[in-house]
Chains A and B, each alone.
Chain A
Amino acid sequence: MISSSSSRLLDKIRAWLPALVLSPSFAAILLFVYGFIIFTGYLSLTDSRLLPSFDFVGLINYQKLLGLRHWNTALKNLAIFGGLYISICVILGLLLAILLDQKIRVEGILRPIYLYPMALSFIVTGTAWKWFLDPGFGLEHTMQTWGFLDFQFRWIKDRNMAIYTIVIAAVWQSSGFVMAMFLAGLRGIDTEIMKAAQIDGAGNFQLYRRIVLPQLRPAFLSAFVVLTHLAIKTYDLVVAMTNGGPGRATEVPATFMYSYTFTRSQMGIGSGSAVIMLAMIASIMVPYLYAELRQGGKT
């Protein structure tokens, strides 16, 4: 009797063990991510200023937020930055991966060279790029000392062009990673299919367009998702390179949210902008996750 009931108990524990082991991680995520998101959402409906307050004021913060010129600049910059950053990274990453996949002898040396920017913090690379792009010290100065006296490159000081310098630095930072993802995808393609197509007389371009690219679909999707969320979260790089300047020309939503929440003592509006950022991320992530889970449950 005793032994059978204890063994039944053991069975029960065994059945629950996986869920039990997973639950601390899950509980931590529930509290530290979703709990805090709800908290932020609530703050956006309060009159919080210096520190959180719980006095409900309705949607006033959102109304104020949408009326701010500053916020519109931030959104516009995100659109420019995000569009260019994602497309250039994908194109460059794909190009490099395809080139690197042509039995390159020195691949072992080139790959880490393309990849290493990922290893550096934005504080480091942002500072390096700031120096490099500074007209008085960097590229422009160098070209001029080499005798190209008319050479000008002062985008970082130009409020219409500064956002593009951030694209340059950000592409430099992440395109190697995208390359690695595509390279992994290319290496996973069945060589038999390629051979068959070649025998059928498909040209190089045709081969890639018809056979290779469609097979890289998962890599495209992963790259897109990773890049999109990096774009929306871009913060350190802007702070290190331009700190939102010249003027407020390179403000992005993340810097906006930070400054309203922490330095302007308008935590309510800052939280509102955070909620909008979260919604943007969710609108891209949720469909992806849904698709991922549908097919990913069991392959």
Chain B
Amino acid sequence: MFKLKATLAAAAALCLFSSGSVFAEEKVEVLHWWTSGGEAAALNVLKKDLESQGVTWNDMPVAGGSGVQAMTVLRARVTAGNAPTAVQMLGFDILDWSGEGVLADLNKVAEEENWDAVIPDAIKRFAKPEGVWIAAPVNVHSTNWVWANKAIFDELNLKQPATWDELITSLDKIKAAGYIAMAHGGQAWQDGTVFDSVVLATGGPEFYQKAMNELDEAALGSDTMKTVFDRMAQLRGYVDDNFSGRDWNLATAMVINKEAGVQFMGDWAKGEFLSASKKPGEDFLCFRFPDSQGAVLFNSDQFVMFAVGEEQRPAQEKLAMSVMSPAFQQAFNKVKGSVMARTDVDASVLDACGQQGQVDLAEANKSNKLFGSMAHGHGAPSGIKSAVFDVVTAHFNGEYDSAAAVEELAAAVQAAK
């Protein structure tokens, strides 16, 4: 083995030159996939905040596929015993990791800062499973939104559609006027985001919960589900020919630039409007997906803290406290488009859309109409989520008809359980 050892020694010697690590300073390494304009700007708020406390931010972005690559990297790094300090993560992924015993325990900080009182239960389910705080929730996103170009709506004398039929009428008019009616990117998760809203709008809150959270076989295979797929096929008629593979923020840009009428997307789309200096109510409109008013599909970005060495603990706790500080939550969510994860923070700093979002969230929470979004990892574990995506995206791209899609859906979910 002498040669291999020599190789290793040479390689290690080389490494000393390439990465001199300094232990005296406090630093955090953050793995994330926030690389679009609005997202990076929002994250920069956190970075600045930490730097003002003397904590170095080591950025570890892994872009692509809404976190797909980042999760692979995370797996490799945890397996190697070299986990980053904090990782951006969603819903059921957090629960999966909490079962592996590699996460940090934030209970001490949480107690000092009284997180229990200010974080809603629906989010605590993921941030504090089995009584241990393992993650610091940054925000609550809501996915059943419509983003519309106001100039187009004014030009065509359109009102905000409140029902499915009104939506279809509006889309028809936009299309007839020569615009692209629906800005959309043909990626599985974007198809899934629209599907989420259509399920909620078509079947109502209870149906959504049954089908997308409880994975009830009868609901998945029901006639209502067939209507959902019919409606998806109907929506397919309003996208442009070039939609396949487009990134979501480019679809948003189409609405911003008056090329397209509406986009069905979560409230992170607002971040793109804002970073293009557009104003809600003046340049663009935000309203709930028709027929889904009163209910909220949510997902919550959280920074999951991994167990790191003692010397890194103080920096990690500073990061967690920073994420949870009211000032940061306000500053961050103003840019990102989401609303605060804390319920005790003044929402008046947000714009009109944000304020409506915060109100909707509170009401939905009260009336038990707050559901985890399937498309964004808060409805079911990732295996099932992907199985749903398979069917939705195949159907949306015309691989089979609605009746077949219903059968496929039930079968796929069953197989992935």
What residues of chain A have their CB less than 8 Å away from a CB belonging to chain B? 21, 24-25, 27-28, 49-51, 64, 67-70, 130, 134-136, 154, 156-157, 159, 242-243, 245-249, 258-259, 262-266
Contact = CB atoms under 8 A, between A and B. Distances in A.
A249 B397 contact: yes
A175 to B, nearest CB: 26
B398 to A, nearest CB: 7
Given A50-B96, A243-B187, A263-B72, A154 B241 contact: yes
B399 A247 contact: yes
Contacts of B205: none
Given A21-B3, A24-B1, A265 B397 contact: no
Nearest to B5: A24
Given A263-B386, A265-B96, A135 B397 contact: no
B68 A263 contact: yes
A247 B394 contact: yes
A27 B393 contact: no
Select the residue from A134, A242, A248 with max chain B CB neighbours within 10 A.
Answer: A248
A64 B415 contact: yes
A3 B321 CA distance: 74
Given A159-B398, A246-B186, A247-B397, A264 B242 contact: no
Contacts, number: 97
Contacts of A49: 96, 383
Interface string B372-401: 000000000111001100100110111100
A50 B241 contact: no
Contacts of A21: 3
B241 A157 contact: yes
Interface residues of B, number: 38
Contact of A264 (B245, B386, B399): B386
B244 A246 contact: yes
A246 B4 contact: no
Secondary structure call for the A interface: loop
B100 interface: yes
Interface in B337-366: none
B408 A69 contact: yes
Contacts of B23: none
B2 A243 contact: no
B75 A245 contact: no
Contacts of B381: 265
Closest CB pairs A-B (n = 5): A247-B397, A262-B72, A24-B3, A246-B244, A24-B4
A248 B186 CA distance: 11
Given A24-B3, A263-B68, A265-B382, A243 B75 contact: no
Given A50-B96, A247-B398, 17 more contacts: A24-B4, A27-B1, A50-B75, A50-B100, A154-B241, A157-B243, A157-B244, A157-B245, A159-B397, A159-B399, A247-B186, A247-B393, A264-B382, A264-B387, A265-B96, A266-B383, A266-B416
A266 B387 CA distance: 11
A262 B75 contact: yes
Contact of B79 (A51, A70, A154, A258): A51
B281 interface: no
B65 A243 contact: yes
19 contacts: A24-B4, A25-B3, A28-B4, A49-B383, A50-B97, A67-B415, A157-B241, A157-B242, A157-B244, A159-B398, A243-B65, A245-B397, A247-B393, A248-B188, A263-B68, A263-B386, A264-B382, A264-B387, A265-B383
A243 B186 CA distance: 11
A246 B245 contact: yes
A64 B242 CA distance: 35
B119 interface: no
Contact of A27 (B4, B187, B398): B4
Nearest to B389: A248
